[in-house]
Every structure is written in C-alpha cells, then in structure tokens.
Chain A
Amino acid sequence: MKLYILKRLVGMVVVVFLVLTIAFVIVRLAPGDPAALMLGPDATPADAAELRARLGLDRPIPVQYLTFIVNALQGDLGQSLFFNRPVLSVLAERVEPTAFLALFSLAISVVIALPLGIFVAYRRGSFLDQSAVSVAMLAASVPSFWTGLVLQRYLATDLGWFPASGYGGPDATFLDRMGYLMLPSIVLGIVNSALILRFTRASMLDVLGEDYIRTARSKGMTEGRVVLRHAMKNAAIPIVTVVGLTFALLVSGAVVTERVFNIPGMGNLVVGAVLRRDYPVIQGTLVVVATLYILINLAVDLLYLVIDKRVRY
C-alpha cells in the first residue's frame, strides 16, 4: 500500500515532467517565429528581437528548456504578455469561478444521475427506464453551448430565475458570485449527468444479476438493503471511474460554458490567451490543468483501494 502510493507519486513526477515538456514544445512547434506570432503582423523586427530576448527565445533550445523546467518547478510559469504579470497570479485570479463551476456541476450531475441510474437499473425495461435512457442520450448529444443558450434565454432572460451572465461586479459578495454560477452549473451538470446515468445504470445492471445478490435476498433483507448495500458497493468502482473522467470533461465543458455565460474563469482566460497569442498563459494553463487531472486520477485510484480489498497494485 505505502509502496504503491510511493510508486504512484514517482509516476506523477514523471507525468508532470512530460506535461512540462509538451507545454514547452508546443510553443516552439508553432510555425515561424513565436515572438513575431505573439506580437502580430504590425510588429517591427526590432520589437520581435526585443521580445525574443525578454522571453529568452534567443538562447539555445536546451538552455531554454532547462530554464523553463527549473522555473516551473519553483512555481514560476513565466510572465503573461498581455497582463504583464506572472502567469501563476493571473491563473490564481481565475481559479475561483472555474473550481466552483466544476464542483457544483459535478454535484448536480451526481445528485441527479446516481439515484436515477440505480432506480432505472432496478426497474429495467420499465417506461421510466426507457425514457431515462433516451433522455440521457439526447442530453449527451446536444452541444452544451446550445443547452446553455436555450436555458439562458428562458430561465434567465424570460423568467428571471437566474442572472443571465457575468460574475457580479468587483464588489459582489461570495454568495452573489455563487449565484451567478448556478445556471452555468446546471447546464454543465446536465451533460455530465447523462454520462454518469448511463454508467451507473449499466454497472448496476451487471451487479444485480450476480449470484451474491441472490444470496443477499435469500438472507431475508429488504430490497432497499439489497440494492444500496450489497449491489451499490460493487457497482461503485465503474461509477467512481466515470465521475473521475467527468471531471476531466468539465475542463473542456468549462471553456464553452464560461464563454456562453461570460464568466471570468480559466476557460475564458485560455480562450482569450489563444486569441491574443499569450503563449506563457497557454503554457501555464496546460500545466496547471494537467497537474490537477493527474491528482484527481490518483485520488480515484486510491478510492478503488478503499472500496475493493481485492485491488492490489
């Protein structure tokens, strides 16, 4: 167990290293002179030379690489060209809305999909089961920007139940800001709940056909106990996995949703950075998101160990 965690941590270091390398390479792979690209067509060669020197792009590649890695490991992901501030501090400002958007939407999707998935698996073939499966298919295939725009139009603009967009002004309280996240979280949650629902249902269906479920029934317990205690624990591993995966999807989901609802989160930041060719910010976001994803993966794998004592790594 301890050895396993140690192995995983070593693995993590390797992956983070790879991520850093990829982030480094991507910028250098862009055709032409990155400095010229960043500055756009109006820049003079002198400007480009100045920027190259500022970013260290005029030094040999191995030196650039080493500097980048060493700086990154010290928490220095470079300076944003647009904001003229350290990338990390720019990112830190944008973390709150994205983190809460991800959290709320995950909570919403789990709260909807988990009980529903269990219930329709138990009542497989029923009308409710068939409708739930069809609706989930539909929800998963409709692009989230469309759901976003529709709900924004009807629930926010027409009915006024939610603020239509934005994140409150500079003096909005925390609760105000969270209020702005409700509708976007629902939009993002709907898409993900479709996925979680289908996995929960499939996983539950498998388990409910197992011999040990029949044994559980033969012991004289209620159906509720059969399902929630004996079946649920066995169905949990695939469900935990898909919830973990969903978290990764949330990142791309957040980009779209933050655009639609004009929320100043990391998704919006990265879109802006791409449009502005702010390479250090793109690099930094990539590194931070990838690291987060690695951590979530680790947490999911550790959760397996807690659920299933047979799992040995």
Chain B
Amino acid sequence: MSAGPILSVEGLRVAFRSRRGAVTALRDVSFTLEAGRTLALVGESGSGKSVTSLAILGLLPRNGDITAGRLAYRARDGRELDLARLPQSEFRAIRGREISMIFQEPMSSLNPLFTIGDQIGEMLLLHEGLDGAARRKRVIEMLEMVEIPAPARRIDSYPHEMSGGMRQRVMIALALICAPQLLIADEPTTALDVTVQAQILDLMRRLQREMGMSILFVTHDMGVVAEMADDVAVMYAGAVIEQAPVADLFARPSHPYTRGLLASIPRPDRPEGERLVAIAGSVPPLGSLPSGCAFAPRCPLATPACAEPVGLRDIHPGHRVACIRAEEVLADA
C-alpha cells in the first residue's frame, strides 16, 4: 500500500507576531505521512496541532509566519512542492482540490447564509468549472456518500437547520467532493457527542477505503488514535517528540511524555480513582521554554544532559523519538 510519503514536514517553525514581540508556537515539527495512510497528530491542548494543520494548508492567521522548515508535498502530477514556499496563486489550485481540511467546530465552520448545496457545490465550480444541473447532481451524490438522509431535499437546507453531526457530514462532503489526495481533519469529532462521534469516524474510515486518500488526523483522544490511525506523531510544546506506527507506539512508547500520555488513558480495567497521575506539572508557557528538551522540567528521568537541544532519531526502523534516554525508557517498560 505504502507508495512513499505524500507529505513530509521537516523542522517546521512557526512564529506569531504580537505586541510583545514574536512568540514561537512551533519549534520543531517533523513527521512523515505515507500515501494512503492515516497519521494521527496527538498532543495536549496548546501543543500546536492546529497551527501545524493550518501551516500545511497555508492558512495561518495573519500574524503567523513559517520561519523555518519544509513542507514537502508530492502533488498529484508527481511534482514535489514545498508548501512553505508555494505562491498563493499555485496554492489555490491545491487547496480543496488536492488537500482539503475539516475543522473542529461544525457549528461555525459553515457559512450561515448559504445553503449547504451552494457551499459544497462551490468546490466543483472552483476546481472543475462545473455548474447548473450537473453540479447539483454531483452534490446530491456526495451527500448520499456521507449518508445524509433525503439528500435531494437536504441540499437546499441552511446549516442552522441541521444538527452538529449532520453539519460535520456536510463538511466531510465539502472536503471530499473533489477527491483530494490528502485530508486534514482537525479534531473533527471533538465537538460531537459520543455516538455521533463513532458514526463520523466510521464514515471517515469507509470513505478512505473507497477514495484512497491520506489523512492527517488531529486529536488529543488516544482512544480515537487507536481506532483511526496507522501511524502516530506525538507533539509536545510545539515539537514532535515521537513518531511510530500505531501498534509500535502503544507497545513501545519511547519518550517519557508518550508513556505518561498512554498511562493517562482511562481504561475499563483500571478504576477511575486509580488512574496514574502520569505527568506532574503542566506545559510551560511558550515564551519560557528551556533551550534543551522542553519536557525536561516535568520529566522523572531528566538529567543535566537534557539541557542540550535534542532532535528526532530512529530508535528502530520506522520509530523516531526525541529523547536521549529513550533506550532506558524502553528497557524500563
């Protein structure tokens, strides 16, 4: 299945300009997404998952800039593009057609003043020049694919007439109608209740099987990771600190932070009260990160050597980690 990476992010840095100077939100984000697979990007709130997603699509807020790094993307025509340096005019042809995105908030991500048919159909107008009855037909087909009941009627609904789960289906239809190669899903189910969440995840898996796109799946829910991902990249304070295939990561977490994260998953065999308080302390504010390993101040295994900058390295094939004591973490487990 794997035909080489479709996207590799290398040393991505993003800074936000503010009145009090620049704040570095992403310090060192590196990961590889293999074609046709799902990579879960996990991490606590504020670790930089959304900023990473937006940077890939060139949609950073006005005050945000990519200050270093590469976003190597293999376009459908075989060219390798660096999305960090792609001119806007070229980017427009990629957005929506080759890479599309669904967002966390289905309530606010759709324009309240246009029908859903209009909003989905606009993709066909933009990228295929399709209009009129042919366009409407394609939109109805797509609504059917995302299992929206009575699509021929629903196409003329406005977002406020639909539930959160239905709107997220609309977002998925919108994102996938031009059959993109890469789908970025930024916590697409976080705002939904549990049953709806499961339905949306099922739907995404089915559509991936049918359409074969690669997915970058942003989440902070390890349960969702286990269900959806082929590979996992773990972020901490603006950097990816570990990447591995999902089974490998769950079996052999090699970064103390990843271990803590996995230990904090609520499990039925472990009563709520006994849940390991795995990670003491909290994420330091972005402005005051240490120059070395950002996790060191909270790490039970930290040594003076952790004050030196540390990058990702292969601990075994396909498993990369940014910790000088990864071998000991593994041996300990």
A residues whose Cβ falls under 8 Å from a Cβ of B: 210-212, 214-222, 230, 233-234, 307-310
Contact = CB atoms under 8 A, between A and B. Distances in A.
Contacts of A218: 57, 59, 95-96, 100-101
Given A233-B113, A234-B112, A219 B174 contact: yes
B186 to A, nearest CB: 10
Contacts of A214: 54, 59, 103, 109
A216 B111 CA distance: 8
B93 interface: yes
A211 B97 contact: no
A215 B110 CA distance: 7
A219 B96 contact: yes
A220 B59 contact: no
Contacts of B103: 211, 214-215
B236 to A, nearest CB: 26
Contacts, number: 67
A219 B123 contact: yes
A250 to B, nearest CB: 29
Contacts of B122: 219, 221
Contacts of B108: 210-212
19 contacts: A210-B108, A211-B109, A212-B111, A214-B59, A215-B103, A215-B171, A215-B174, A216-B111, A217-B95, A218-B100, A219-B96, A219-B123, A219-B126, A219-B174, A230-B114, A233-B111, A234-B113, A309-B113, A309-B158
A265 B296 CA distance: 79
Contacts of B158: 309-310
A220 B95 contact: yes
B94 interface: yes
A211 B112 CA distance: 11
Interface in B87-121: 91-97, 100-101, 103, 105, 108-114
A220 B93 contact: yes
A308 B112 contact: yes
A51 to B, nearest CB: 59
Nearest to B104: A211
Overall SS of chain A's interface: helix
- Categorize the interface residue count of chain B: 20 to 34
Interface in B199-229: none
Nearest to B88: A223
Contact of A212 (B96, B97, B109): B109
B85 interface: no
Interface in B170-213: 171, 174
B105 A220 contact: no
Find the residue from A211, A217, A220 having the highest chain B CB count within 10 A: A220
A67 B237 CA distance: 80
Given A221-B126, A310-B158, A310-B160, A215 B95 contact: no
Contacts of B76: none
Nearest to A125: B62
B137 interface: no
Contacts of A212: 108-112
A8 to B, nearest CB: 22
A178 to B, nearest CB: 37
B127 interface: yes
Contacts of A230: 111, 114
Contact of A234 (B91, B95, B111, B123): B111
A77 to B, nearest CB: 43
A215 B94 contact: no
A307 B97 CA distance: 29
A307 B113 contact: yes
A123 to B, nearest CB: 10
Given A215-B171, A218-B100, 7 more contacts: A210-B108, A218-B59, A218-B96, A219-B174, A220-B123, A307-B113, A309-B158
